[in-house]
A and B are shown apart, each in its own frame.
Chain A
């Protein structure tokens, strides 16, 4: 059974490569070629999922496929497909059509870097993949070449590079720790790390974990290292924001989770978990505070991403099969939901020609086709039933509902209620507020601007009404591989 998995991986990685070359060399119809690549990646990631039941190292020891990696790949593929659909419509309104092929080349390159990172076998290669995502996506954030977007791009690249240097230091420390066991020369991949974690000096393992947590935490948008995130997410084009928020943050979380698992297997006790819980709770708190008083529509979505990354961190921090399952389910739900929200925000920004929520009124009249979908998405993202995030947040809350972490779970619940009120209050104003004003003169989205929103909402509804049993066993398998005991 070695053959098929190699084929799927080849499609997964070569489709974006082909899209990059097409966009750079042929320069025509690059949007559709990119979309084709996204469809290919989506199909390959779905086919990869059942193949990844037993962890496999392939491509000359370069790639590592396990359930967790395949799950993150699926999240990336979903967002890549939806964002590629939306980009076709979004960039119609771009004044500089000549730069479009460059946009799609970068876009596919961004997806490729994330896919490589989440499939990387080696900790060093994973770090390089994450670093490459930064370098590529900086130019996507600054794509509109306004003062604000360049400011965001500059802050993004500086803060994240500095942060990732901590993760690199962590990787070196872990490698050094491993060399106490395996001698000076070996390759440090995820399985090796799990195998030697218990034997390396405990202080080096802890130090490596904390450095990696801070470093990759910068990239994952955990507070207080989240400062680049609202700027970058709000100033890039909407499809890019969706990719940053729905796919990139999960990819960075993957590294944290895998090193956390190594500390668990080594019996490092609860300290790593407590730190992760602390960062997660702080992220939810920061998200809540900035959501309540937010003025820009995309910054609202960005702080919501900080909040949801905090919730995912809490899920992994609470640990156990339930916490891990909740966090993983939350990853996919958040990917779908945040894409929907950013697409809607992009449509509204084009229609009203502003980022400010106070100038967006009478949404239903202004955007008759997509307004209801966006509103449903807003309800979903605050964690209300019957959508997917309700289920995953409930699972995470239940995982935390123990004596040790009860206070955290209660605080989380309170903050979630604050966010529910704050977030939907902004939407109330945009949908119901204000006198009858003349309709704005910006362009309304075409059907391709609405279709990905509809698809995402459909997915959320299905995942909310029905948590497939096959996924439950799947998540249980991941929890087992991460060393969680029921």
Chain B
């Protein structure tokens, strides 16, 4: 169930922003340059901020303007800046070892989108929802999530792993903005803050990894087994 009425123009704006976010996920999946991931992530966050602002405008949940500004600020600027600092310290530009070729990765990503569409339709049917916006929101939310998991699996660099997790959270954030725009503000704020703390923790840990292990490639982390 969608909690607000949409006219066709607004629906197309939603679709544009959501699909744009999904395409940027594919950019992250296909490229092997870490800076590309970073830019794609920042842009994705900006698109989501735009979505929040649009929803605030359409629904009258005015606190979402605030959320939009914070999203743009934190997810769009501060987090990428923190990650850029980590990248500079690491002197790593790109993924050296690929588990699968970029082309295969993109294909797997496409398959996960198909899966997400099927799941979204199924949810709509069983919950008796017939709004296409909901189907799209669910599809994009699940696809971005699955692609994030895919990134975690096929990438080896520590920074890629961080970006994979951030991307997953972006997907959830995007979906929740459309599905439950009235979710209490406090929760969203704390989630943003939590993300900031998480990235700070990741950063500290990466520094230790470089200092002690001498690498941030997960290939170097294979001692503990059994």
A interface with B by C-beta (< 8 Å): 122, 124-125, 128, 131-132, 135, 138-139, 142, 145-148, 150-155, 157-158, 161-162, 165, 168-169, 172, 175-177, 179-180, 183-187, 201-204, 207, 230-231, 234-235, 290, 293-296, 299
Q: Mark B164-204, 1 if CB is under 8 A from A, else 0.
A: 11001100100110011111100100110010011001101
Q: Kindly report which residue of chain B lies nearest to residue A207, judged by CB atoms.
A: B123
- B223 an interface residue at 8 Å Cβ cutoff? yes
Task: State A209–B48 Cα separation when bound (angstroms).
Answer: 27
Hey, which chain A residues are within 8 Å of B161, CB to CB? Answer: 158
CA distance A38 to B151 in the complex (A): 41
Quick one: which of B123, B165, B179, B213 contacts A161, CB cutoff 8 A? B165
**Known contacts A158-B165, A168-B172; A295/B226 CB under 8 A:** yes
The reply to whether the CB of B128 lies closer than 8 angstroms to some CB of chain A is: yes
For the complex, give the distance between the alpha carbons of A175 and B184 in Å: 10
Q: B65 CB to closest chain A CB, in angstroms?
A: 16
Q: Is the CB of A131 within 8 A of B198?
A: yes
Tell me the minimal C-beta distance from A17 to chain B in angstroms: 17
For A131, list chain B residues within 8 Å (CB).
194, 198
Contacts known (A203-B127, A230-B224); A187 close to B209, Cβ less than 8 A: no
The CA of A175 and the CA of B221, in the complex, are separated in Å by 38
Q: Mark B214-226, 1 if CB is under 8 A from A, else 0.
A: 0000000101101
| B91, CB-defined interface residue at 8 Å | no
A162-B152, A290-B226, A294-B226 are contacts. A138–B187 as well, Cβ < 8 Å?
A: no
CB of B176 to closest CB in A, whole Å: 5
Residues of B within 8 A of A235 (CB): 224
Q: Which of A124, A125, A139, A165 contacts B165 (CB 8 A)?
A: A165
Closest-by-CB residue of B relative to A132 is B194
Q: A165 near B224 (CB under 8 angstroms)? A: no
B208 at the interface (CB under 8 A from A): yes
Query: How far apart are the CA atoms of A157 and B209 in the complex, in Å?
Result: 13
Q: Would you list 17 pairs from A and B whose C-beta atoms are within 8 A, ordered by A residue?
A: A124-B184, A125-B187, A131-B194, A135-B197, A138-B201, A142-B205, A146-B212, A147-B212, A151-B221, A161-B165, A162-B165, A168-B172, A169-B145, A179-B182, A184-B180, A185-B182, A203-B127
Which residue of the partner chain, among A162, A176, A234, A294, contacts B180 with CB atoms under 8 Å? A176
In the assembled complex, the CB of B62 is this many whole angstroms from the nearest CB of chain A, namely 12
Report which of A132, A203, A295 forms a contact with B126, defined as CB distance below 8 A.
Answer: A203
Contact B169 A165 (CB under 8 A): yes
CA distance A180 to B152 in the complex (A): 34
Q: A168 to chain B: which residues have CB within 8 Å?
A: 169, 172, 191
Assess the B182–A184 pair: CB atoms within 8 A: yes
Which listed residue (B122, B187, B208) contacts A142, Cβ 8 A? B208
Contact residues of A: prevailing secondary structure: helix
- Inter-subunit contact B3/A155 (CB<8 Å): no
Given contacts A168-B172, A235-B224, contact A150 B213 (CB under 8 A): yes
Partner among A153, A162, A179, A203 whose Cβ is within 8 Å of the Cβ of B149: A162
Judging by beta carbons under 8 Å apart, are B152 and A158 in contact? Answer: yes
B110 within 8 A of A: no
Cβ–Cβ contact B194 & A176, under 8 A = no
Q: How far is the CA of A290 from the CA of B191 in the complex (A)?
A: 37
Chain A residues with CB under 8 A of B179? 172, 176
B122 cross-chain contacts in A, Cβ below 8 A: 203
In the complex, whether B106 has a CB less than 8 A from a CB of chain A is no
Interface residue ranges of B137-173 to A (CB < 8 Å): 141, 145, 148-149, 152, 158, 161, 164-165, 168-169, 172
**Which of A131, A146, A165 has the most chain B CB atoms closer than 10 A to its own CB?**
A165
Q: A153-B205, A201-B126 are in contact. List 19 more A-B contacts (CB 8 A).
A: A124-B190, A135-B201, A142-B208, A147-B223, A150-B205, A152-B224, A153-B208, A158-B165, A168-B172, A168-B191, A169-B175, A177-B127, A179-B1, A184-B181, A185-B182, A185-B183, A201-B128, A204-B123, A207-B123
Q: Identify which of B127, B141, B172, B212 contacts A150 (C-beta below 8 A).
A: B212
Partner of B221, one of A122, A135, A155, A290: A155
Pair A145/B191 contact, Cβ less than 8 Å: no
Partner of B209, one of A132, A154, A294: A154
What is the CA–CA distance of A274 and B81 in the complex, to the nearest angstrom? 46
Set B172, B180, B209, B223: member contacting A179, Cβ < 8 A: B180
CB pair B194 A151 closer than 8 Å: no
Are B226 and A299 neighbours in the complex by a CB distance under 8 Å? yes
Q: What is the CB-to-nearest-CB distance from B39 to chain A, in angstroms, rounded to a whole number? A: 22
Q: Which of A138, A176, A204 contacts B205 (CB 8 A)?
A: A138
CA distance A338 to B50 in the complex (A): 50
| Cβ contact of A157, chosen from B181, B190, B205, cutoff 8 A | B205
Most chain A beta-carbon contacts within 10 A, residue among B145, B149, B176: B176
A172 and B190 contacting across the interface, CB-CB below 8 Å:
no
Q: Is the CB of A147 within 8 A of B180?
A: no
Pick the 4 closest A-B CB pairs, nearest first: A184-B182, A185-B182, A203-B126, A201-B127
Interchain CB contact (< 8 A) of B224 among A138, A231, A294: A231
Q: Is the CB of B3 within 8 A of A124?
A: no
Q: Which residues of A contact B127 (CB under 8 A)?
A: 177, 180, 201, 203-204
Contact: B180 with A157, CB < 8 Å? no
- Write out the residue numbers on chain A whose beta carbons fall within 8 Å of the beta carbon of B205: 138-139, 142, 150, 153-154, 157
Contact B224 A151 (CB under 8 A): yes
Taking a contact as CB atoms closer than 8 A, the residue among B1, B165, B209 that contacts A180 in the complex is B1
Chain A residues with Cβ under 8 A from B209's Cβ? 150, 154
Encoded as 1 (CB less than 8 Å from any A CB) or 0, chain B from 105 to 145 comes to: 00000000000000000110011100000000000010001
A169: which B residues are within 8 A, CB to CB?
Answer: 141, 145, 172, 175
Contact at A172–B123, with CB atoms within 8 Å?
no
For residue A146, which residues in chain B have a CB less than 8 angstroms away from its CB? 212
Q: How far is the CA of A187 from the CA of B188 in the complex (A)?
A: 12
| Distance of A285 from chain B, by nearest CB (Å) | 16
Q: Residue of B at shortest CB range from A180? A: B1
Q: A131-B198, A145-B208, A207-B123 are in contact. Are A172 and B175 (CB under 8 A)?
A: yes
Closest to B224 in A: A231
The docked-state distance in angstroms from the alpha carbon of A128 to that of B186 is: 12
B contact residues around A161 at 8 Å (CB)? 165, 198
Residue of A124, A147, A165 touching B213 (CB-CB under 8 A): A147
